[in-house]
Amino acid sequence: MELFGGVIPITGITFFMFSIFAIIVAGFALGRITIKGISLGDAGVFIVALVFGCIFYKQLDAQLTIKVAGLIDVSYTEKALKIVENLGLILFVTSVGFIAGPKFFGNFKKNFKSYVVLALVVILAGGLSAVGCIFFGRGVMGETNHEEFTAMIVGLLSGSLTSTPAFSAAKATVAEIYESAVSVGHGIAYIFGVIGVVLFVQLVPKITRADMDAERAKLAAASASGEKEAKSAKNKKTFKLIDFDGHGFAAFALAAIIGTFIGMIRIPLTGEGLSGTCFSLTTTGGCLLTSLVFGHFAHFGPVNVTPKESTLKIFKEFGLILFLVGAGIAGGAKFIELFQFSYFIYGIVMTVVPMVVGFFFAKYVLKLSLLNNLGSLTGAMTSTPALGTLTSVAKTDDVAAAYAATYPIALISVVLVSQFLVILF
């Protein structure tokens, strides 16, 4: 590709990097557009990346395809995008864990039942809405290939909840011939799965006319026990801590390394050993769990394992953006080819139903305050982008503790529900 009549040639990895930064600039510009107080925020980056993938993926792929032995074309586009997506996910989730760590365990102990029940209610509502879509598709829409349609619905469910582990588990559970149906469904529903929850966490405070100062105070009170634990730990320090480096990069990297290894541990669910369907925390869950522990203890002996607050804020925001760029370009590449309007509607149903059910359940049954409710809901919906938006809306990182508390329960539940749907239907 050439710019300005060939004066500036852009090829290979240069074009790839140019595209990423151009998407970020355009995405932030789109996200800044505000209509009646509502904006896409960081999700604007996802929209621009999606459009880019629809229009320019072939050009990008051409720049990242090389000939091996002068004969075979080998494309590195998917791998390059996966690196960007996973790097962003590690940066974001590990930062969230460190930020939430000091208050997490006290808050979790205090609200343990609420977090577990909410996660289960949300995922169960998502599973039941998927079952409803299966019966509607077979009975009303006349879907005849039941196995393929079920695979599509399970893919839609994982996309609606933006759950990569559920997506992987569903692909491993269905017959090999139907794996592509799972992938298609995931890609179609992922779009609204991201945007829907992002808009929801912005709309609810406005619709309810919430006093955000009062809500922040309630959230701070809810995590008071965790904060006391953190202060108590700090008061016990009688020695000067040793820092790896001035910014805490090494401590962050150490948590990411350990978390990645933990995420790789596979627990067999069906079949014989690791050859059957397995569950794992994945990189997301592993890094979140590890950084929560690091953030809670703050140091191990004389060694400081807590990055600076400024480092965590930058990594959190930049990680989220990289994640949205990688996922958006990859999703846009196949979106036009595979899109069907009826499937998109099913995806909306499987996003809206569990989200609304979860919100009202948390509000009227669990009696959670608004920000605790929305923070828990983003975790129950396993929505990483929505957490980034909610943090901006709430103007406090305390919501991350509620997200971190419900996320692991939801992660395990949605994997199991996806597999049960395949087995039962």
Mean pLDDT by 10 residues, the chain (425 residues): 54 85 92 75 82 86 74 77 87 85 75 85 93 87 79 87 70 69 77 85 87 83 59 57 87 93 78 61 79 88 89 89 84 72 90 94 90 90 82 83 81 79 79
Domain ranges of the chain: 86-320+339-424
Nearest one of 90, 23, 21, 94 to 323, comparing CA atoms: 90
Contact 210, 396 (CB under 8 A): no
Give the SS3 label for residue 304: strand
DSSP state for residue 302 in the 8-state scheme: T
Task: Flag whether the pTM goes above 0.85.
Answer: no
pLDDT for res 231: 56
pLDDT for res 4: 46
255 φψ region: left (φ > 0), alpha (ψ -120 to 50), beta (else): alpha
Give the SS3 label for residue 235: helix
Count of C-beta atoms within a 10 Å radius of residue 342: 13
Q: Beta strand pairing status for 278-279 and 267-268?
A: antiparallel
pLDDT for res 324: 81
Backbone Cα Rg of the chain = 22
Between CA 189 and CA 156 the distance in angstroms is 5
Phi, psi (rounded to 5 degrees) for 9: -80, 135
Q: Please, what is the end-to-end C-alpha distance for the chain in angstroms?
A: 48
* Three-state helix/strand/coil letters over 80-147: HHHHHHHHHHHHHHHHHHHHHHHHHHHHHHHCHHHHHHHHHHHHHHHHHHHHHHHHHHHHCCCCCCHH
Nearest one of 200, 295, 304, 210 to 250, comparing CA atoms: 304
Amino acid at 264: M
Between CA 378 and CA 218 the distance in angstroms is 18
